[in-house]
Amino acid sequence: MSSGEKVSRRKYIVAAGAAVAAAVIGGAAYYLARPPPPAPPERPWERIEWNEPPMKERLTGLEVGSIPDHWIERFPTLKTYGGWEGIGAIDGYELPEGWEKAVEGVDKLRFLNYGGLPHDPATQMAMCKFEDLTGIKVEAREMEELTLWLKTVAIMTAKSDAIDFLHIGGAELMTHTVMSGWAVPVDFLWPPEVQELYSPLAKSLLYFNGHWWGSGMVSTKPFCLFWRIS
């Protein structure tokens, strides 16, 4: 190989290196000069001022009274709820500010309910009260526990719009739901003053991976834990 060939090859390498450098610098300059990407669209729940009025006051200011006739007309089993007197915590709750904007265009919400509604007066009353406050119809499909979970997995895996929110009871199912990417954090439901209302055990089931994943529950009757020895 002659010295002339060596010089030409060096020139070629230098020229190629300069071209690569120019391309990299040019690409970087373009990246820096282009406008920033648009902000992601505002999600519906981000339009709500969840702590206005204060959430603690809204959760603890419930009032007991006679169950309205139109609730009983929809769910006749409510007539005998509350010691045969048809009473329950039916009033006193206020919706947070901004809820009207968040639900624009929504006329119906659907979910899968664990168990039959005749045996679930709390859910019946919650559905009726939500409809009274918002005008949005709530539909529940009643299922036993195993079927509900299998149906939930099928719907979420298929990315179906058959339901609008999840009804998850077991802690292990909540973990599976979150780790599968099917849940949205609900940190906005848990300001410090609301956290004070619940026991450490209840909170431990809803908080992991640095986020809150479910809402608290107010029970109007005791729930008893039991174990099978078989």
* 3-class DSSP state of 152: helix
Residues 138-178: tens digit of each pLDDT: 999 998 877 888 898 999 999 898 988 887 766 678 888 88
Q: Which of 97, 96, 91 is nearest to 61 (CA)?
A: 91
Report the C-alpha gap between 78 and 17 in whole angstroms.
Answer: 81
- Whole-prediction pTM value? 0.73
Which CA distances in Å does 2 have to 6, 7, 14, 38, 52? 7, 9, 19, 58, 84
Q: Which of 3.40.1000, 1.10.3470, 3.40.190, 3.40.50 is the CATH number of 44-212? A: 3.40.190
* 3-class DSSP state of 38: coil
Give the domain ranges of the chain. 44-212
Average pLDDT of span 2-28: 50
> In this model, does residue 11 exceed pLDDT 60?
no
Contacts of 85 by beta carbon, 8 Å cutoff, 6+ apart: 66
Contacts of 142 by beta carbon, 8 Å cutoff, 6+ apart: 113, 115, 116, 117
Specify the higher pLDDT residue, 222 or 50.
50
